[in-house]
Structure 1
Amino acid sequence: MNEGETTMISFVILTWNSEKYIGNCIESILSNVEVQNEVIVVDNGSHDATREIVRSFDRVVLVELDSNMGTTASRNMGIESSSERSKYICILDSDTVVSKGTFEKLVDIFEKNEGIGLAAPYMFHTDGMRQNSFKKFPTLFQKLSKLSPVGFMSRWGENDESYENWDSDRDEDFFDVDYAISACWLVNRDALDRVGLFDENIFYSPEDVDLCLRIWKGGYRVVAVPGTKVVHHYQRLSRKNPLGRIAIEHFKGLIYYFNKHGYYISRRKLYRRLGR
């Protein structure tokens, strides 16, 4: 980055034993993003080859942590390490690959439309199927239903948080969503300055729901942008080990989130507060 050059996007990537993915993720940014950018990787105490892979890229800043500090404190460190000249912050998971033209389109949406705080691209599985990455604010019953071993209850929980025809093509340039999963966000730095960074009372999840809700409460919009593409391996760590630390932290985070925002059963009360 040359002196005086404007950094448009600061990519903040969190890693934890991510040797399988991180090289491809960084390479996709360097190859496919034409907007001026910087790449910051915050490593949560990996004990595989993750750090060596990151160091092999000259342009990438590596922040090394001694242990796994979760998703919120680590990402905040990355954001705080970013250049003040960057207008946008990209929160990006290490198991993603970004496509050419996607970030140019996201930046264009911001530049042409006032009031957008966060824009998220369409996410795809590695087999090309679209991922359900834009969702309605959760409720306690909906979350418990998703965990149910009873098939129809689990399906109801999935459907209740999903937008109708979420996997259909849409013609508009962008559309409002309650929240987007934080595998890939582009966030207006001004919005972060107003509403604050990730809430470090949450270790792992639902930090994405909380920040999107605070962006809405701050008077900004959260939008999804058709015509964009990011491939996401979608590891779903809490589902893989429902009794492990990540799953327990997820449950604790949900209870904290509902207490913080003062709703449990119905999201209608929340929508009324937001004037939506």
Structure 2
Amino acid sequence: MNKIGIVTVNYNTEKDTLNFLDSLEKINSSGFSLSVVVVDNASRENFSLPKKYKKENIKVINLNKNTGFSGGYNTGIKEVLKENVDYVLVVNNDTILDPEILINLTEVIAKDVRIGVVTPKIYFAKGHEFHKDRYSKEELGKVFWFAGGYMDWANVQSVHRGVDEVDIGQYNKAEEIGFASGCCMLIRRAVLEKVGLFDDNFFLYYEDADLNLRIKKAGYKIYYVPSAVLVHVNAASTGGAGNLLHDYFITRNQMLFGLKYAPLRSKIALVRQSIRLLISGRPKQKQAIKDFYLGRLGKGTFFNK
């Protein structure tokens, strides 16, 4: 029997976490033993499990400081690895798991020891699409958030294939991809033991891209599994794209990631862009660039008053 550790992070989004746990209760775990860890990232009120969710295999870890997605995930991963799990599912708390997701993900990853990570087809939650006015009533809930991914090195960013497209069967092939979103990744234990966990220097954003590249450099494959399905309420705990948090961490971490991995041409472009942002960027972008060059990584100075 395979043992799977499931790790999610809560940060001031208790309702989302409880909805996630509701979906977890309906999951088909036939042939699996599950160990679940919810890491609370120093929410305004410590997260605790209501009575209906209190089970031997579900644990809550309350942190006394916000360690970001990378730190929160790492805390949970370390905990489930103590349970001698075979695989670790890291998954955002603002998601709803399809009942067959574990069956379908493990079916693919178990076929080839060179497959280190598998990731599902991910839809926007109905009504949470970026451009919901574009779609018919019937199309809502069938819009891709992620259908596989790859790295765009010209712009130093990960790309979600199919984003904003309606699912008409165009991405129904299980295949190797270049990038798996940290929204949901099933990772082989041996991979984590070989390449390590998420890099805490990122805190938030690009931490998944960094782990993906380290996994690929170690010789493992990353696979997209369309038969495995997840529904995602986008950026619930970060407030959505375009806010100050996004401005700061995307800007700083693009520099951190790009200067570590990107081709020389893209590195030069990033340095030039950083100079432009220092001169004419938005306030949090300027702060992010300064912090990058001063080595203020992790949480940086974003939360400083």
**Interval of TM-score (by shorter of Structure 1 and Structure 2):** 0.7 to 0.9
- From 61, 66, 69, the counterpart of 2:67: 69
SS of the residue corresponding to residue 112 of structure 1 reads coil
Counterpart residue identity of residue 108, structure 2: I
Bigger drift between 38-47 and 256-265 goes to: 256-265
Aligned equivalent of 1:132 = 145
TM-score computed with the length of structure 1 as normaliser = 0.79
- How many residue pairs get aligned? The number is 244
Cα distance change on mapping 1:229 and 1:67 into 2, 3 Å: same
Cα distance change on mapping 1:215 and 1:112 into 2, 3 Å: same
Shift of 1:169: 3.4
Shift of 1:47: 1.6
SS of the residue corresponding to residue 145 of structure 2 reads coil
Deviating beyond 6 angstroms after TM superposition, the runs of 4 or more aligned structure 1 residues are none
Counterpart residue identity of residue 170, structure 2: D
For 1:97 and 1:239, locate their aligned partners in 2 and report how far apart those are by CA, in whole Å: 18
Cα distance change on mapping 1:231 and 1:262 into 2, 3 Å: closer
1:86 aligns with 2:99: no
Shift of 1:126: 1.8
Counterpart residue identity of residue 64, structure 1: N
1:31 aligns with 2:45: no
Tell me the alpha carbon deviations over residues 137-159 of structure 1, each in whole angstroms, 9 at most, x when there is no partner. 1336365xxxxxxxxxxxxxxxx
Aligned equivalent of 1:141 = 155
Alignment of 1:159-174 (within 5 A): 161=159, 163=161, 167=167, 168-170=169-171, 172=173, 174=174
Counterpart residue identity of residue 99, structure 2: K
Shift of 1:57: 2.6
Counting aligned pairs with the same residue, the percent is 24
Aligned equivalent of 1:41 = 38
Counterpart residue identity of residue 42, structure 1: V
For 2:239 and 2:17, locate their aligned partners in 1 and report how far apart those are by CA, in whole Å: 20
Shift of 1:60: 1.4
Q: Tell me how large the CA RMSD over aligned residues is.
A: 2.6
Cα distance change on mapping 1:264 and 1:90 into 2, 3 Å: farther
Shift of 1:232: 0.7
Tell me the alpha carbon deviations over residues 172-214 of structure 1, each in whole angstroms, 9 at most, x when there is no partner. 4x21111121111100011111111101111101111111111
For 1:230 and 1:23, locate their aligned partners in 2 and report how far apart those are by CA, in whole Å: 16
TM-score computed with the length of structure 2 as normaliser = 0.72
Which residues of structure 2 form unaligned runs of 5+? 127-140, 268-305
SS of the residue corresponding to residue 38 of structure 2 reads strand
Counterpart residue identity of residue 33, structure 1: N
Shift of 1:135: 2.0
Check the 8 A contact 2:16/2:93 in 1, yes or no.
yes
Tell me the alpha carbon deviations over residues 66-87 of structure 1, each in whole angstroms, 9 at most, x when there is no partner. 1211111221111111134210
Aligned equivalent of 1:148 = none
Counterpart residue identity of residue 121, structure 1: P
